[in-house]
Amino acid sequence: MSERLVDWTRGEQAITFQTCSACGQVQYFRRAFCAACGASDPREQRASGKGRVYATSLVCRAATPETRTHVPYNILLVDCAEGFRMMAHGENDLAIGDEVDASFKPFAGRLVPFFVKRK
Amino acid sequence: MSFITGVGLTPFGKHEGSSSLDLMSKAAQAALDDAGLKRAEIDGVLCGYSTVSSHIMLATVFAEHFGIRPSYAHAVQVGGATGLAMTMLAHHLVEAGVARNVLVVGGENRLTGQSRDASIQALAQVGHPDYEVPLGPTIPAYYGLVANRYMHEYGVTEEDLAEFAVLMRAHACSHPGAQFHDPITVSDVMASKPVAMPLKLLDCCPVSDGGAAFVISRERTREAGVRIRGCAQAHTHQHVTAAPTLSELGAEISAARASEATGLAISDVRYAAIYDSFTITLAMLLEDLGLAARGEAAARVRAGHFSRDGAIPLNTHGGLLSYGHCGVGGAMAHLVEAHLQMTGRAANRQVGDASIALLHGDGGVLSSHVTMFLERVR
């Protein structure tokens, strides 16, 4: 098993993904195996943070006191340059197709990926 | 072969002081009475889940409470598709000779049994615990993402989506058990509070108390019968992050499988009972199922195609959007209404011809799909 890289889900300013060394499949949700072919030990890497907006939804009604202090916040699905899709936050005026770069912001006591429009 | 021999449905809305078991029992008794069956004749029990009173063995908790000692019982959990998934399982159990009469039941005091925030928070947990939930999404946000993309790809507008809320409300106005009875307009929907854009309050189903139940049997118990012609499922993903492209979603797959299993085509359908947690859900499912061309479901609503006197009457009780959504029982109300229509018992809501009905349920974020064809037999 290769060494686990720490990413934003564990408080680090990083987005990671895995590539299967057998079939080349790219996956975002970390597993000990490739979900496409089952081969073990997919290679883990840091992503560039570059991507394109696939979809957005501006959340105006949150369900917990911690998240309510942040409304409105924009939830995105971003197609990352490395070939995987991820959920993240981003600038409120982002639209489908926008080229974006990742940064990180505190949200409800955690660190979350926050995408901004590429200049 | 299997028949839906009885149906039961409570009004949806507030049932102050009723527990989930109370609501399940009320609906179950109504279904037994409708089928003309006694408790001792029920040998199978399938139930859903309750977010208010979760239990690792809800089916036996219910069976003991209701007073049944079945030879087959367990709970089923497929989110919004649970009702139809249970019905599909009951159909196969009956066909295989495992049980003669299976009671399928769902009910929950989701509105008065917990805060609305607690309901919304419980449901948001269908998201990925590490990669989605920490971002503070809600169920409307998951569907808001899908809506945003669908509108982009097929040229659907917010006004188009509003048509579905207006239609469901118009239908609910003629059902005494519906949660909402005030007519609404497209501008009311457009002016309602933003929840998770592009979805606004009136694009979203409410949280309700209520219960629903059916009996699935090997033999008919009454003259007019409703037969389950066949059904199928498709499960493509759980989390919206891992969903396939819009043209490869599970509704199309399960519908194709159901057509293959029954020999029936969408063109045979006379009545439609389609899951409608949000206006986008209904718009997409109608188009995925082939009841409207891509991007054209709203135009069909405007033309009256899905109205009570239209070519394909749709959710004539008002759907989740306006009859209400009490969890598992919510989408079961669609089947109850289809049954009433097919047996000519829908009173002031009765449609002309409901001889073949198409039912479709969706769980998660368009994750799990069940498609079913029902046929009236005399």
Q: B76-126: per-residue pLDDT in tens?
A: 999 999 999 999 999 999 999 999 999 999 999 999 998 878 888 788 778
Which whole number is the average pLDDT over B58-87? 98
Q: What is the pLDDT of residues B152-191, one digit of tens each?
A: 999 999 999 999 999 999 999 999 999 999 999 999 999 9
Nearest CB to A57 within list B121, B124, B141: B141
Mutation site for B-interface testing, chosen from A57, A93, A111, A114 by largest number of B Cβ within 10 Å: A57
Regarding whether A61 and A105 lie in a shared domain, the answer is: yes
**HSE of A41, CA atoms in CB hemisphere, 13 A:** 3
- DSSP secondary structure letters along B40-64: GG--EEEE---SSS--TTHHHHHHH
- B377 pLDDT more than 90: yes
* Residue B103, token pair as written in the block: 């009671």
Tell me the residue type at B136: G
Q: Which residue do the tokens 């293959």 mark?
A: B260
Q: What is the pLDDT of residues B312-328, one digit of tens each?
A: 999 999 999 999 999 99
Q: What is the mean pLDDT of chain B?
A: 96
B103-142 residues touching A, CB cutoff 8 A: 117, 120-121, 124, 128, 130-132, 134-138, 140-142
- B266 pLDDT more than 60: yes
Provide the domain count of chain A. 2
Determine, for residues B135 and A88 on separate chains, whether the beta-carbon distance falls below 8 Å: yes
B306 compared with B114, residue with greater pLDDT: B306
**Closest residue of A to B124, CA-based?**
A63
Rounded Cα distance between B230 and B222, Å, is 21
Instruction: Give the three-class secondary structure for B309.
Output: coil
Distance from CA of B52 to the nearest CA of A (A): 16
Contacts of A76 in chain B (CB under 8 A): 145
Rounded Cα distance between B111 and B325, Å, is 9
In this structure, the dihedral spanned by the alpha carbons of residues B308, B311, B315 and B317, taken in order and rounded to 10 degrees, is: 10
Regarding whether A55 and A37 lie in a shared domain, the answer is: no
A–B: how many Cβ contacts below 8 A?
106
Strands B368-377 and A43-46: unpaired
Mutation site for B-interface testing, chosen from A59, A67, A111, A114 by largest number of B Cβ within 10 Å: A59
Regarding whether A22 and A60 lie in a shared domain, the answer is: no
Contacts of A4 in chain B (CB under 8 A): none
Cβ-contact B237, B244 below 8 angstroms: yes
Rounded Cα distance between B258 and B268, Å, is 13
Question: Which pLDDT score is estimated for B2?
Answer: 97
Of A46, A61, A77, the domain-final residue? A46
Question: Which pLDDT score is estimated for B100?
Answer: 98
Per-residue DSSP letter, B223? S
Tell me the residue type at B244: P
Regarding whether A60 and A34 lie in a shared domain, the answer is: no
Regarding whether A56 and A112 lie in a shared domain, the answer is: yes
- B57 pLDDT more than 60: yes
Mutation site for B-interface testing, chosen from A87, A94, A104 by largest number of B Cβ within 10 Å: A87
Which CATH number do you get for residue A96? 2.40.50
Of A29, A46, A63, the domain-final residue? A46
Regarding whether A3 and A40 lie in a shared domain, the answer is: yes
Across-strand partners of B102?
Answer: B44, B216
Question: Which pLDDT score is estimated for A119?
Answer: 87
* Residue B74, token pair as written in the block: 């367990």
% pLDDT > 70, chain B: 100
Rounded Cα distance between B229 and B75, Å, is 24
Distance from CA of A119 to the nearest CA of B (A): 24
Contacts of B132 in chain A (CB under 8 A): 87
Regarding whether A101 and A54 lie in a shared domain, the answer is: yes
Neighbours of B340 (CB within 10 A): 21
Contacts of B239 in chain A (CB under 8 A): 29
Low-confidence ranges of chain A (pLDDT < 70): 1-3
Question: Which pLDDT score is estimated for B158?
Answer: 98
Regarding whether A21 and A69 lie in a shared domain, the answer is: no
Q: State the ipTM, two decimals.
A: 0.97
Question: Which pLDDT score is estimated for B15?
Answer: 97
Neighbours of B218 (CB within 10 A): 16
Domain membership of residue A69 as a residue range: 50-117
Decide if B198 touches A, using CB distance below 8 A: yes
B151-170 residues touching A, CB cutoff 8 A: 152
Regarding whether A83 and A28 lie in a shared domain, the answer is: no
The closest of B281, B275, B277 to B147, measured between CA atoms, is: B281
Regarding whether A58 and A4 lie in a shared domain, the answer is: no
Question: Which pLDDT score is estimated for B61?
Answer: 98
Determine, for residues A75 and B149 on separate chains, whether the beta-carbon distance falls below 8 Å: no
Contacts of A88 in chain B (CB under 8 A): 135
Regarding whether A41 and A54 lie in a shared domain, the answer is: no
Question: Which pLDDT score is estimated for B119?
Answer: 82
Regarding whether A41 and A19 lie in a shared domain, the answer is: yes
Which whole number is the average pLDDT over B25-46? 98
- B33 pLDDT more than 90: yes
Determine, for residues A59 and B136 on separate chains, whether the beta-carbon distance falls below 8 Å: yes
Residues of A with CB under 8 A from a CB of B: 9, 28-30, 54-64, 66-67, 70, 72-73, 75-77, 85-89, 96, 107-108, 110, 112
Decide if B242 touches A, using CB distance below 8 A: yes
Question: Which pLDDT score is estimated for B35?
Answer: 97
Question: Which pLDDT score is estimated for A2?
Answer: 58
